[in-house]
Amino acid sequence: MTAFVTLCDRNYYPRALRTIRDLRMVWDGDIVLITIGFQADDNGLNIIVKPFDNVPMNLPKIWETHPIRRMDDERHTRKLCQFNKLHVFDPYFKQWNRVVFVDAGMRVFNVNHLLEMECTGIMAPDDSTPYDNGNRFGAQIDLNANPEINKKIEHFLNREIADVGSSNYFMNCIWMYNTSILDIVSSDEMIKGIDEFPICLTNEMALMNLYLNFKYNLWQVMPERVDSKYLYGWCELNYRERPDYHQFCFLKYPVSISIDNDP
């Protein structure tokens, strides 16, 4: 009772199909494609297409009064559609016991190593790997934008903001969760949090960490390796030993294989 899920708007649809085709090479179970603002068919890939609307938010208006600092990729202003990943926690997904989300465009080579793992919460990679690159949660939120929001977060988490800022956190281009957590936290709760905590520099990734990691303590660290395989990698160039794509189960930005070609 596992579903693999990816998500896209119309512009990212070709990337989603690339990932789904990879999945179909190694997985014959359920695959759900969440579409945002458009309709799609299954392209003969035997998938479930689940449309959702864009999540509601008032962030641009809120930022007029309390702007947050500019990011190099301007993610927080130009990629607000990323908040739609919160739909992956919709009650719709309770029909499965386990959900594995992968970003549209992710290359998938092996799913067995991941599926063999026991997951009681949400399993996702630590963004400080590999080799502890120093990434901590303070870089994901703007602590200078609005002191009142900082106080609100401290009350929400029952923790000092400095403690939260110095903590490890998960990245969310891939995650696996046990759907029993939907009895603890819901998509509606996190969607409301978009406007409640408008200091998230990395959009839904920071927000998901506030709830799933720091509030409800549901994060399980996804291992870097399983046997001889890297379970997930951002890019092969991040590794001193320079592995190629054959040594990965999931790979976000491969350089040893073209994003448009099959392995």
Residue 261: pLDDT band (50, 70, 90) is low
Among candidate residues 214, 97, 242, 232, the one with its CA nearest the CA of residue 155: 214
Instruction: Take residue 216 and report the two structure tokens written for it.
Output: 């409800």
Instruction: Take residue 9 and report the two structure tokens written for it.
Output: 């708007």
Give the pLDDT score at 258: 63
Are the C-beta atoms of residues 52 and 34 closer than 8 Å to each other?
Answer: yes
Give the pLDDT score at 70: 83
Residue spans of the domains in the chain: they are: 2-126+171-194+215-251
Q: What is the mean pLDDT of residues 49-54?
A: 97
Instruction: Take residue 206 and report the two structure tokens written for it.
Output: 């920071």
Among candidate residues 247, 239, 244, 246, the one with its CA nearest the CA of residue 255: 244
Q: What is the mean pLDDT of residues 156-171?
A: 96
Answer yes or no: is pLDDT of 25 > 90: yes
**Tens digit of pLDDT for each residue in 85-96?**
999 999 999 999
The lowest-confidence range among 111-115, 125-129, 237-241, 256-260 is 256-260
What average pLDDT does the chain have?
94
pTM (predicted TM-score): 0.94
Strand spans (E) along the chain: 2-8, 30-36, 48-52, 98-102, 107-108, 122-124, 174-178, 219-221, 225-226, 229-233, 248-251
C-alpha distance from residue 170 to each of 71, 99, 122, 204 (Å): 19, 17, 10, 12
- State how far the Cα of 260 lies from the Cα of 257, in Å rounded to an integer: 8
Give the pLDDT score at 260: 47
Instruction: Take residue 17 and report the two structure tokens written for it.
Output: 């199909």
- State how far the Cα of 176 lies from the Cα of 222, in Å rounded to an integer: 9
Give the pLDDT score at 72: 79
- How many separate helices (H) and strands (E) can be counted in the chain? 8, 11
Backbone φ, ψ for residue 113 (5° rounding): -60, -40
CB-side exposure of 146: number of CA atoms within 13 Å? Answer: 19
- State how far the Cα of 258 lies from the Cα of 245, in Å rounded to an integer: 10
**Tens digit of pLDDT for each residue in 229-258?**
999 999 999 999 999 999 999 999 999 986
What CATH number has the domain spanning 2-126+171-194+215-251? Answer: 3.90.550
Strands 122-124 and 225-226, by their bridges, are unpaired
Q: What is the mean pLDDT of residues 186-211?
A: 97
Burial 212-235 (b: 16+ CB within 10 A, else e): bbbbeebbbebbbebeebbbbbbe
Backbone φ, ψ for residue 15 (5° rounding): -65, -40
Give the pLDDT score at 73: 76
Q: What is the mean pLDDT of residues 10-33?
A: 97
Are the C-beta atoms of residues 222 and 216 closer than 8 Å to each other?
Answer: no
Q: What is the mean pLDDT of residues 104-108?
A: 97
Instruction: Pick the more confident residue, 258 or 217.
Output: 217
Answer yes or no: is pLDDT of 259 > 70: no
